[in-house]
Structure 1
């Protein structure tokens, strides 16, 4: 991904799945989106026609709610298919296991062409297209840069070791408490928070030059069923992999006769149809607070996907400076602007996933201009001395004209 610590690798969004305003069990840290779905024991008692499935994936978790209709498979069969799809994706493109197809490609020297499974090729094509449309702000060859800035897989493994030995000095993450609908509504708004100091590069020019020789989307080629590289690049798809698998699961659900559902994987969300009784799927967009969770806006999601990227939960501090995990491919350094979070709503989850990252890299002005030019439904939140400032695009305002209540 373009400078994001991976979804399972340093998960960038945190989600709660709750239905009807009931509190849910905590999920692994990941996002700015809160999916309002339900706790399992209560769900079974009050809405037997809604099935809830969940489990671990990509270093985080997935939560799925769907309305079970006549003729649809047993929940056990649905969950088995979900697990099969997730396992296939992991085997194809994980950067945290040495035996994945992508790990073998990354370990190969420049000049390599390697046959790849369809999942990896589809992700590569989408990444290449997004990079071509991104004004240079999207790049999936930044693994060595992420490691250099201590946000990549190597840094994640070191953090895990430090945590296991009790020697970690990483800043505390935000609260993992669940929020009910009433709490979300009471806390919605744009709470103030002091602006953090901007990042300042701490890598020397020689290091940056060396990293540049090992990055660049132009070095990644797709030839038939093979992925090729003409430079010693390494690839990761963390900025679009969760969105991709959500879209795959949505296709499977359609084939199985499941038409009303909410799918959340590591914080990426796609919803279709409605909950029983014609009630909408409600999504709370979080305010970009470092150590707290407050809803900034509630929206009704139907037959579309939503993704939020931000720099406020995944960062590191060094010598009094704060470094975002989001890397600008054009500078190979952490982003240095006031945009704190970018939310995008599109029909497909993978596109929303990638675009939210792209807008974060572009920043408050260029990101907004890009979203308007491409007619994206986007919500951007920037830091100012007075607090957070929210900007929405015309497409977002047309789709979500005002904050909604459950």
Structure 2
């Protein structure tokens, strides 16, 4: 979900028109509001694909389910009910929530703590939580106090229950949208769709070919204020794309910039030069989480981590009043055909 009203949406679908297409198959699309933002589905209608109304109803049923289970902006969501419960609480949870918790714990362990689902109190402290925005940096004592109330090590799964040893507050905004994209794609596949571009609040995945034989194409947006410019065009087939960035959601105090992306290891906003990072992975959920991990790690440590783990990642770093870009080895190999665009 990645806090839809705050998340920088950098990966954007290119609305290329299908002109002169002589095929009987055609691209259809639908979309609408969700999670404080929007979703968009483009797919190729072939024989055996369910009617558009059925596809839309199935998609929106999943979106509604995710919202009522995982939203941090609904007091009645399952995760908010869990968040209000005291330390020592166990609560029965659906498979989706347990999957996200397991994925979050795995990402945190793999990255030596650069990913954490329990940062909600820190987000509130720094003014980036779902409540009122407070553009004022906390002092050291306030930070130390809140740091005692976070940590995925205090969150555990017991059978079908989610349990916490501290009064933790879980926030799925860093991975829920990627999870939702994967859920929607599985359901569309059950309804006959094999060629698609699915986007939910900026996280997306595409597979198959359009009727003219071309790939689905998306643009990576350059980190510029006030306008959207595609700086790299990618052809996708079976990969999810997620971008995390800090250039749109921040505030300044006494000349210092405070990003909405927090480093779980320090409890403070990131302070390095990395403006945005895009990750491609067959799992959109994992791409979603990894883009956050790499943004937290920064340009040097993040690139080294991506190279070591074989992650396909594209880094946009601030330099001398502008930006420089660099793709990991896996990214450049994956998208070599489109590198010249």
With the shorter chain as reference, the TM-score category is over 0.9
Alignment of 1:5-404 (within 5 A): 6-8=2-4, 10-13=5-8, 31-37=9-15, 49-155=26-132, 202-385=137-320, 387-401=322-336, 403=338
State the SS of the aligned residue for 1:361. helix
Corresponding residue SS for 1:278: coil
- Shift of the alpha carbon at 1:155? 2.6
How far apart are the structure 2 equivalents of 1:146 and 1:267?
A: 21
Give the conservation status (yes or no) of the 8 Å contact 1:7–1:242: no
Answer yes or no: is the 8 Å Cα contact 1:283–1:298 preserved in 2.
Answer: yes
Q: What are the ranges of 5 or more consecutive residues in structure 1 without an aligned counterpart?
A: 14-30, 159-169, 171-200
Secondary structure of the 2:131 match is helix
Cα deviations by residue, 1:279-302 (Å, 9 ceiling, x for unpaired): 111111011123322111111011
C-alpha RMSD of matched pairs (Å): 2.1
Q: SS of the residue aligned with 2:46?
A: coil
In the TM superposition, what is the alpha-carbon distance from 1:316 to its structure 2 partner? 1.4
Partner Cα distance (1:387, 1:405) in 2: 21
Report the TM-score when normalising by structure 2: 0.94
Residues 381, 391 of structure 1: 8 Å contact kept = yes
Question: Larger relative contact order (C-alpha < 8 A, sep ≥ 6)?
Answer: 1
What's the CA shift for 1:375? 0.3
Which residue of structure 2 lines up, in the alignment, with residue 178 of structure 1? none
Specify the SS of the correspondent of 1:114.
strand
List gaps (5 residues or longer) in structure 2: none
Question: TM-score by structure 1 length?
Answer: 0.79
> 1:323, 1:206 → 2: CA distance?
18
SS state of the match for residue 155, structure 1?
coil
Q: Note the C-alpha offset of 1:264.
A: 0.4
CA contact (8 A) 1:11 1:59 kept: no
| Counterparts of 2:79 and 2:138, CA distance in 1 | 27
Bigger proportion of residues as strand: 2
Structure-2 change in CA distance of 1:318 and 1:217 (3 Å) = same
CA drift of 1:100 comes to: 1.0
Is the deviation greater in 97-106 or in 386-395?
Answer: 386-395
- C-alpha separation between the residues in 1 aligned to 2:340 and 2:147? 48
Take 1:47 and 1:323, find their aligned partners in 2: how far apart are those partners? Answer: 53
Is the partner of 1:369 in helix, strand or coil?
helix
Displacement after TM superposition at 1:364 (Å): 0.4
| Contact 1:300–1:404 (8 Å) recurs in 2 | no
CA distance in 1, matches of 2:24, 2:116: 44
Alpha-carbon distance between aligned partners in 2 of 1:55 and 1:254, rounded to the nearest angstrom: 20
Q: Distance in 2 between matches of 1:122 and 1:66?
A: 27
Q: CA deviation at 1:390?
A: 1.1
Following superposition, the deviation at residue 405 of structure 1 comes to 7.4
Native 8 Å contact 2:175 2:288 kept in 1: yes
